[in-house]
Each structure stands twice: as structure tokens, then as C-alpha cells.
Structure 1
Amino acid sequence: MITIVKIEQLEELSTLKKEYIKQATAPLDGMWLCGFVPMADHFGFYKNEELIGFCCINSDGYLLQFYVNQPNHALADDIFTSIINKENGVIGDVTGAFSSTAETHYLSLCLDHAAKTQVNTLMYQQIEKSVKQKTDLPMAAARVEQLAEFVEFAKTNIGAPEEWVTGYYANLISRKELFGYWKDHKLLAAGECRLFNEHQTDHADLGMVVAESERGQGIATQVLTYLIALANGKGLTAMCSTEKTNIASQKAITRAGLTSSHRIVQFDF
């Protein structure tokens, strides 16, 4: 019999998380892996008091990860079905899921039960290890005293929630992973070169925002080119992602030399 229990300390899942990430056929998106997933509720699957798997579900009732270890792989479909059929009172309603195409077994289970699917995000990775392009864009690392400026920039240009982006940018600044491009003392672009602490440590996850007034001038491509070179200088392979609807961002990423081979797919059950 399988028992499902809410996990309060994510450290309990460390071994299973490593197995889960190792089985992926490509690096998992950094924002989902390190941003959205840790904020979700996690549940452990126990067989005779042994932890054999887990899932995590966000506040909207969407699965973000699902895994059953190899010795108990045959139980995965039954556990997954019981979750989406609301047969477990601990978890509650599950309305859908997000899975990348690099998470093949989880993706297959989602496909088996989906009533509706749509691509949410395009995932990009660097294939050529060396950057052929160069940029003269004068980027500089963000300083602690510039946090409020970056927060206001993100609020104005992408509508980021102030409380969340304040903590997010403060962390990036402390890790020296946030960069800016200023002109006439005005912040016009922000770039992120995020390093992984535990998993996927041979990759750097990139992000960028360009002021609305400056878009369409090639600045996004220059920012990404700078960040790719920065990552490569640390011996890391660059990766990033963008929403399917963000055509301008997709063009900039492609021009910077990254290739999209995987997607994050939204499923509704």
C-alpha cells in the first residue's frame, strides 16, 4: 500500500531529487527548478514506510515534478492516476501539470491523462561552446545600493511583484549574478547569469530584461552575448528560456547563438 505524506523539510527528498534531475535528457530550466519548484508543496510516496518517490504541486493545483524511483517504477502510473483522480485527501485537487520535454517519464504520464496541452516555454541551450560574436555593451555588476533601482526597473518593464523581485534581486546581487547596462545614468537593461548550487553545476542559467523604450534596437542580443561570454569564462555552458508568446525574446536568444531543443508544456487534466 502506498501512503502519501506532505513533506515539510525538502532535505528529506535530496536523494530522490538528485535521481530525478539525473534522469533528465537535458538541463532543466533554472527558474522552474530553483524558483517555482521550491515554493510548491511537496509530497512523499511511502511504501512500507520507505520513501520511494515524490511530487510537488503549486498553489494553482498544477504538478511541477513527479518521480518514483527505479525499483518501484511499475507503481508510478497507479500513483499518478490516484493523484489526478483526487483519491488522496492529503494532496487535494490537481487540475493539471507542467513538464519539460526533457523529463520523459513524467511527460509521458502527463500525456496519458491530458485533456488539453499547450507549449508554455521554449528552453534554449548553448551548442557551440565558444561565442563567435562580441559586444561592446558596457555591462557592470549590480551593487547592493542599486537594488531599489533594479526593483523599480523590473516592476516598470515586466510587471514583477515588488516583494518577490526585491528578494530575488537581492540574492542575485549577493551572489554577483546580476548585471546592468546604463546610459546617461539610466538603467536600460538587466542581465542575470545564475549559477546552480547543487545540480547542473556545469551550466549557467541566463535572464535579461530590456526597458520597453529601448526594445527593437538589438540590446537584448548584446546583453545575452555578454552573459554567454561571462558564463564561458567560468567554464560553464549557457542556457536560458522564454515564453512561447515572447517572439522578440526568441529572436534575440537565437541571434546570440543559443538553440532551442526542448519545451515546457502545460497540461490540463
Structure 2
Amino acid sequence: MLMQLEGKVAIVTGGAGGIGAALATALTENGARVVLTDIDNTSLGAIAAQIETTSPGAVASIAGDASSVDHIEATIDLAESRFGPVDMYFANAGIMGAPYLAPDDAWATTIDVNLMAHVRAARRLVPEWIERGGGYFVSTASAAGLLTQIGSATYSVTKHAAVGFAEWLNVTYGDQGVRVSCLCPMGVDTKLLRPDASPHEDAMIMQRAVETAGKVLTPDEVAEIVMAAVDDERFLILPHPEVLDMYRQKGADYDRWLHGMRRYQRSLTDSAS
């Protein structure tokens, strides 16, 4: 059991499956009490019931939109009434967004969920954490936030923004007790990568890009890595260590990296035709 998590009160968004459900399970196994939230009420209830069987009394749930100010407030209120002041916030909810340039409404939705949900939660919690002398914000971004995402401008841009916001939080409030970590995985076996419905060809190219870039991890594998990183208070969490090499190569020669990404994109498109 990780002592840093024992007795902590955490909120996990996007908790109805995938990484969010795995994070909530790992947190409760390490002695934390968790409020789960997700827009999918049915799956959310099932995950909460599952965690309740192994960690009785350690979980509560509330359905809603993670980017809504009212829902964020309601989630924090539930955590405080059931367990006490919120110590940790896992901003994990995310959507892939529309492929390629996308219409304005798709941009607005993806920005709301993948970025503004983080901003709004931090705006609500950080002043309280400073007053109390500590708190922990964990942002689920993506390797796409350090590199890019072939096929989806909305996903790539908002994940870059999520990384940037996490960095800003760390720089601005790190000396006031606010700890920040940013999770940037590549492929994880979730519905975000492998949806139940058959994806459009454009979405299949995005999926193929992720699946061929490296090993696809299970959510439980990612959650275990996150727990260890949080215990170490490490900022950048890379379940796929090769992402760091790719990131270094990008910074060392940007034009060469862009050329390589275009070549990789062509190979994916050719294999789909």
C-alpha cells in the first residue's frame, strides 16, 4: 500500500471504464476514498458497485458532464459530504473528437472536455489547496500532447493544451503545495481507442496510428504506473517510455520529425486503401 494515498479523498472523472475505472480501483486499494463521475450513468454505477465489493464504503458516484461548472461543484460537494475535503483530482475524462479539421461545434466540445474541464476544476480547487497547504492535480493528457495525433486536429491540439495547462499549474503553484502530474500514454485498450461501434475510415486510420506506434497497454497497467508516479510526485508520467525518445527526437530536429510523421501518415493511408 502506498502511504501517500492512505486516507486521501480523490475525485476521478471519466470513471465509467478504461483508465478512470482502473485509477479508482487502484486508489481505493491503496486506502483512498473516491468519488467517481462520468456521463455514462449505467456503466458508472456498475464500476462503483464493483469497487464497493472490494473496498466497502470507499466509493461514491455521480453522473454528469466533467466540463460543467455545476457538475464539478456537485461532485466536490458529494466528496466533501461523504468523505471530507478533496485532496486529489484526477482530470481523466476525454474524447477523441472529430477527425481532421472538423467543424466549430466539434472543436468546442473537444476543447470543453479535454481542456476546460481541467481549468474549471483547478479554478475551483487550487485556492482551497493553497489555503490548506496541499493538494494534487493529475491530468490525463496523451502522448499526442507531446507529439501529435495523426488524423485528428481536435484531439492533438487539446491534448497539447492539457499538457501546457498542467505545466503551468506546476510552475505557478508548485511552491505553494499544489502538486501536479500529467499522464501521457500512447495506446491503451479502452473504448476511446477501440469503440464498440465500427469506426469511420478516418477514425480507423487514427486507431491504426496508435496501435502501430507501440504496445497497447491495459488500463490496469497504466493505473499501476500512475500510482507509483503519484507516490514519487513525478510530473510527467509516461507508461510508454519510448515516448520520451520520440519527444527528444522531435525537439532535436523538428523538420526531420515532421517529415517522418508525414511519411508515417502516408504508410497508414496506403495500407488502408
User: TM-score of the superposition, structure 2-length normalised?
Assistant: 0.25
Which structure has greater strand proportion? 1
Determine which structure has greater relative contact order: mean sequence separation of CA pairs < 8 Å that are 6+ residues apart, divided by chain length: 1
User: TM-score of the superposition, structure 1-length normalised?
Assistant: 0.26
